Chains A and B, each alone.
Chain A
Amino acid sequence: MDSDFGAVHDELRGVARMMLANHSPLTTAGRSFKPLDWQLLASSGWLGLEVPAAQGGAGAGFAELAVLLTEFGRVAAAAPYLGSVVLGTAALSLLEANTGRDHRLQELAAGTRRVAVALPTDRPEVGQPTAPFRIRRAGSVLEVSGRAGFVPDVVGADEILLLAADDHRPVLVAVAPSAPGLQIDAQPVVDETRHLAAVIADGVEIDPDSLWSFTGSPEAGAARLAERAMLAVACDSLGLATMMMEATVAYVTDRYQFGRPIGSYQAVKHACADMLVGISICSELVGTAVEALSSDEPGSWVPVSMAKAHVSSVAVEIAGKAIQLHGGVGYTWERGLHAYLKRAALNRSLFGSPIAHRRRLAARYAGEGNS
């Protein structure tokens, strides 16, 4: 990463940290998980980071997005960012250019439209994602059917993009949430900062203009989307784990028992040191994966899977340790740490559990996987 980029990232990080400072459940007394103001995100240019300048975006790349995603993780931000921006914008950008697409990108960047993308997540077969929906052609009529679970940010989206197989070829289909035959079942999860739902399509009729092909290899396009989702979650876990470490270090410095700060006891010191080691490794893994993904390296799934597997499980451990070192206080609603632990737990299973990712990595090293 060259220094010009470094400076840009530092600035983005600084601005984001300032703007988000009061949004963490640690500072809002854990009372509510109010979504971030979408128009504010739009006017900050955060909704169109990757949208080309021609469509009103900033024309930046995933590396910049990753900076923001990590900051969102730090404050356990409630915002439909994963669904609409990380996946929605990217899904549209991977499509062949057409006016419908460009128009949508423009609206996404401006914050006047929100989308969700239904990828396979509930049976997370990492690797070549199999499209959870399929297209049926009956004469001139096009229909889509299928089911995807744990789709982020469907509720409130103006449009849902379904990854569908059109005669075995992955394509994207846009459907309105109100389309006849489309069912959206909210799936409550322990993490109150996120909203997931199952999307079930039963013979939903679609407009041929809403069916789009990927530029280049459709399989690569679909795989790219899945990798973005995985890495976005890893960035989030890195951010939240870092916040948990900082909150813990501050607490154990302030809290006295037996006439000394509890941070002076070895059991506590060792736990904090382990947090730092864990986060340093996570940060390296995420950095490598972000670089591979943003420079479109072939085989980028390898560092992405490594990051997702490792970071998402280390973050659960760190958030759990943070609660432990806060004693009874750590368990309270008001302190807000629980929001981080729950978010970390969801991140761990979203878009492929550590087990699933490790299995795929193992297969590659055994010579069975694709590279």
Chain B
Amino acid sequence: MDFEMGVEVEALRRELRDLVAHHVPSDYLGAFTDDPADLEMAQGFCRLLADRGLLCPAWPGEWGGRDASPWEQAAVREEMWAHHEPRGAQYMGVNWVGPTIMRHGTREQQGLHLPPIARGEVIWCQGFSEPNAGSDLASLQTMARRDGDGWRVSGQKIWTSYATMAQWCFLLARTSREERKQQGLTIFLLPMAAAGIDVRPIATMIGPHHLNEVFFDGVWVTDADVLGAVGDGWRVVQEVLSFERVGIARYARCERLLIWAPAALGAEWDDLPEDLHGRWARMVMHARRARLLAYRVVDLQSRGQVRPGDAAAYRIAVTRLDQESAQVLMDIIGFAALGEGEGLRFRRAVEDHWRYSISATVASGSIEMQRILLARALMAAS
């Protein structure tokens, strides 16, 4: 099933699958369940990956990587996401927090933040969205006011993934009111343990341990916590979002679940209606296509050329794949008993995939906004 990426990548893949088989329980469905053991497992697994140089192989040696090719990083992304992300929330640190700090951070910030990410020890959350600033992110109102030699942050964020478990927040706040709302925004790297932060979980379709509201009441931050230049946050955020939108190998989970279906159903597989077999085959091909699109982005990224339009195109393809494949898989389990053993594990994994896929076209910027962004890029180029 795998595309050829060279012997090193194939060896890496085998190693990752071995680790998953040995350390990740076969009924694991992510780190954000009601069972705290799942989060604990994920935290341990990140350290294990880090110890073997498998958490962020493509990072430079000086920041805890081993200068491997971006294809190895892609293989890590795929194997992890395919197996319900045993890194838990830490994929974000590897995918976009670290790379952004490498590009825009001071030496001190790099020294403070990159090694813990590379050692698999730290969870970050992203404080961008607000109740009235979702698609229109630039209209956000959370303020950071100058106070002596630091800043006081007040306001509210919402939909903040993993905020209950995070040690750091990658926060976007307004530091001044300018003519354009995109101006006067600044990024802060803010410790979640700071006084004045209140995190309130939001129960959603995937349970109460994923999304949150975060309230800031005069939270103190110093100049040392400002990432990049004051007032230049919007430009950096565009980069962050591009990294983020290509950072999850959603196609890998779709493909794994699709390929698992015949084995999980056993004899019942042949009894499925013929057109369902057809839809299933089409989804397998869709997954392959999304994978190719992802590889194009990896290639562009390795040459530093990913533009928001490329990220949007991949994001549209892969989130639609997520939802369509979930629908086909739900139809498949609707025809089968799958009441125990491997069958039941498959059913649970499919239901989880379905619930999660519902949000894929909203998270990280809605698909409608991605289309607008892509269309703009297209028109601007012509």
A residues contacting B by CB (< 8 A) are: 122-123, 149, 187, 190, 256-259, 262, 265, 267-268, 316, 320, 323-324, 327-328, 330-334, 338, 341, 345, 348-349, 353, 355-356, 359
Please tell me if the beta carbons of B337 and A122 are within 8 angstroms of each other in the complex. Answer: yes
Please tell me if the beta carbons of A328 and B203 are within 8 angstroms of each other in the complex. Answer: no
Known: A332-B202, A332-B203, A345-B330. A320 touches B136 (CB 8 A): no
Please tell me if the beta carbons of A355 and B204 are within 8 angstroms of each other in the complex. Answer: no
| Interchain residue pairs with CB less than 8 A apart (15) | A123-B335, A149-B337, A187-B339, A257-B135, A258-B136, A267-B372, A328-B129, A328-B158, A330-B362, A331-B211, A333-B204, A338-B204, A348-B331, A353-B334, A355-B276
* Cα-based distance from A167 to B355 in the complex (angstroms): 45
* Cα-based distance from A356 to B354 in the complex (angstroms): 22
List 8 other contacts, CB 8 Å, given A327-B362, A327-B366, A341-B358.
A267-B372, A316-B327, A324-B361, A327-B134, A327-B135, A345-B354, A349-B334, A353-B331
Please give, as numbers and ranges, the residues of chain A lying within 8 Å of B129 by CB-CB distance.
Answer: 328
Please give, as numbers and ranges, the residues of chain A lying within 8 Å of B371 by CB-CB distance.
Answer: 267
Please give, as numbers and ranges, the residues of chain A lying within 8 Å of B367 by CB-CB distance.
Answer: 324
**Distance in Å: Cβ of A325 to nearest Cβ of chain B:** 9
Task: Indicate if B244 sits at the interface (CB-CB under 8 A).
Answer: no
- With CB as the reference atom, state the residue of chain B lying closest to A124: B335
Known: A320-B358, A341-B358. A332 touches B351 (CB 8 A): no
- With CB as the reference atom, state the residue of chain B lying closest to A320: B358
* Cα-based distance from A338 to B361 in the complex (angstroms): 15
**Distance in Å: Cβ of B229 to nearest Cβ of chain A:** 26
B residues contacting A by CB (< 8 A) are: 129, 132, 134-136, 139, 158-159, 202-205, 208, 211, 273, 275-276, 323, 327, 330-331, 334-335, 337, 339, 351, 354-355, 358-359, 361-362, 366-368, 371-372
Please give, as numbers and ranges, the residues of chain B lying within 8 Å of A256 by CB-CB distance.
Answer: 132
Please give, as numbers and ranges, the residues of chain B lying within 8 Å of A259 by CB-CB distance.
Answer: 136
- With CB as the reference atom, state the residue of chain B lying closest to A354: B331
**Distance in Å: Cβ of A175 to nearest Cβ of chain B:** 22
* Cα-based distance from A190 to B330 in the complex (angstroms): 11
Q: Which of A268, A324, A333, A356 contacts B205 (CB 8 A)?
A: A333
**Distance in Å: Cβ of A146 to nearest Cβ of chain B:** 15
Looking at chain B's contact residues, the main secondary structure is: mixed
**Distance in Å: Cβ of A14 to nearest Cβ of chain B:** 33
Please tell me if the beta carbons of B203 and A333 are within 8 angstroms of each other in the complex. Answer: yes
- With CB as the reference atom, state the residue of chain A lying closest to B134: A327
Please give, as numbers and ranges, the residues of chain A lying within 8 Å of B208 by CB-CB distance.
Answer: 333
Please give, as numbers and ranges, the residues of chain B lying within 8 Å of A149 by CB-CB distance.
Answer: 337
The 9 closest A-B CB pairs, nearest first, are: A349-B334, A333-B203, A257-B136, A267-B368, A328-B159, A338-B205, A258-B136, A355-B273, A331-B204
* Cα-based distance from A348 to B354 in the complex (angstroms): 15
Q: Which of B132, B323, B331, B358 contacts A331 (CB 8 A)?
A: B358
**Distance in Å: Cβ of B227 to nearest Cβ of chain A:** 25
Please give, as numbers and ranges, the residues of chain A lying within 8 Å of B158 by CB-CB distance.
Answer: 328
Please tell me if the beta carbons of B358 and A328 are within 8 angstroms of each other in the complex. Answer: no
* Cα-based distance from A316 to B354 in the complex (angstroms): 13
Known: A122-B337, A333-B205. A328 touches B135 (CB 8 A): no
- With CB as the reference atom, state the residue of chain A lying closest to B361: A324
Please tell me if the beta carbons of A328 and B134 are within 8 angstroms of each other in the complex. Answer: yes
Please give, as numbers and ranges, the residues of chain B lying within 8 Å of A122 by CB-CB distance.
Answer: 337
How many interface contacts (CB-CB < 8 Å) are there between A and B?
Answer: 81
**Distance in Å: Cβ of B345 to nearest Cβ of chain A:** 15
**Distance in Å: Cβ of A324 to nearest Cβ of chain B:** 6
- With CB as the reference atom, state the residue of chain A lying closest to B334: A349
Looking at chain A's contact residues, the main secondary structure is: helix
Please give, as numbers and ranges, the residues of chain A lying within 8 Å of B135 by CB-CB distance.
Answer: 257-258, 262, 327
**Distance in Å: Cβ of B275 to nearest Cβ of chain A:** 6
* Cα-based distance from A333 to B359 in the complex (angstroms): 13
Please give, as numbers and ranges, the residues of chain A lying within 8 Å of B354 by CB-CB distance.
Answer: 190, 345
* Cα-based distance from A123 to B372 in the complex (angstroms): 44
- With CB as the reference atom, state the residue of chain B lying closest to A356: B273
Please give, as numbers and ranges, the residues of chain B lying within 8 Å of A330 by CB-CB distance.
Answer: 362
* Cα-based distance from A149 to B203 in the complex (angstroms): 31
**Distance in Å: Cβ of B347 to nearest Cβ of chain A:** 10
Please give, as numbers and ranges, the residues of chain B lying within 8 Å of A316 by CB-CB distance.
Answer: 327
* Cα-based distance from A319 to B155 in the complex (angstroms): 33
Please give, as numbers and ranges, the residues of chain A lying within 8 Å of B204 by CB-CB distance.
Answer: 331-333, 338
**Distance in Å: Cβ of B332 to nearest Cβ of chain A:** 10
**Distance in Å: Cβ of B206 to nearest Cβ of chain A:** 8
**Distance in Å: Cβ of A123 to nearest Cβ of chain B:** 8
Residue among B136, B337, B358 with max Cβ neighbours from chain A (10 Å):
B358
- With CB as the reference atom, state the residue of chain B lying closest to A150: B334
Please tell me if the beta carbons of B134 and A323 are within 8 angstroms of each other in the complex. Answer: no
**Distance in Å: Cβ of A31 to nearest Cβ of chain B:** 9
* Cα-based distance from A259 to B158 in the complex (angstroms): 19
* Cα-based distance from A187 to B336 in the complex (angstroms): 13
* Cα-based distance from A50 to B3 in the complex (angstroms): 62
Please tell me if the beta carbons of B335 and A331 are within 8 angstroms of each other in the complex. Answer: no
* Cα-based distance from A359 to B278 in the complex (angstroms): 14
**Distance in Å: Cβ of A264 to nearest Cβ of chain B:** 13
Please tell me if the beta carbons of B362 and A324 are within 8 angstroms of each other in the complex. Answer: yes
- With CB as the reference atom, state the residue of chain A lying closest to B276: A355
Please give, as numbers and ranges, the residues of chain B lying within 8 Å of A331 by CB-CB distance.
Answer: 204-205, 211, 358-359, 362
- With CB as the reference atom, state the residue of chain A lying closest to B351: A190
Please give, as numbers and ranges, the residues of chain A lying within 8 Å of B361 by CB-CB distance.
Answer: 324
**Distance in Å: Cβ of B129 to nearest Cβ of chain A:** 7
Please tell me if the beta carbons of A257 and B134 are within 8 angstroms of each other in the complex. Answer: yes
Known: A328-B362, A349-B334. A355 touches B134 (CB 8 A): no
**Distance in Å: Cβ of A219 to nearest Cβ of chain B:** 24
Please tell me if the beta carbons of A328 and B211 are within 8 angstroms of each other in the complex. Answer: yes
Please give, as numbers and ranges, the residues of chain A lying within 8 Å of B132 by CB-CB distance.
Answer: 256
* Cα-based distance from A332 to B358 in the complex (angstroms): 11
Q: Which of B202, B335, B351, B358 contacts A323 (CB 8 A)?
A: B358
Please give, as numbers and ranges, the residues of chain B lying within 8 Å of A190 by CB-CB distance.
Answer: 351, 354-355
Q: Which of B205, B331, B351, B368 contacts A355 (CB 8 A)?
A: B331
**Distance in Å: Cβ of B167 to nearest Cβ of chain A:** 24
Please give, as numbers and ranges, the residues of chain A lying within 8 Å of B362 by CB-CB distance.
Answer: 324, 327-328, 330-331
* Cα-based distance from A349 to B355 in the complex (angstroms): 17
**Distance in Å: Cβ of B157 to nearest Cβ of chain A:** 12
Please give, as numbers and ranges, the residues of chain A lying within 8 Å of B273 by CB-CB distance.
Answer: 353, 355-356, 359
**Distance in Å: Cβ of A263 to nearest Cβ of chain B:** 12
* Cα-based distance from A28 to B359 in the complex (angstroms): 22
**Distance in Å: Cβ of A197 to nearest Cβ of chain B:** 12
Please give, as numbers and ranges, the residues of chain B lying within 8 Å of A332 by CB-CB distance.
Answer: 202-204, 211
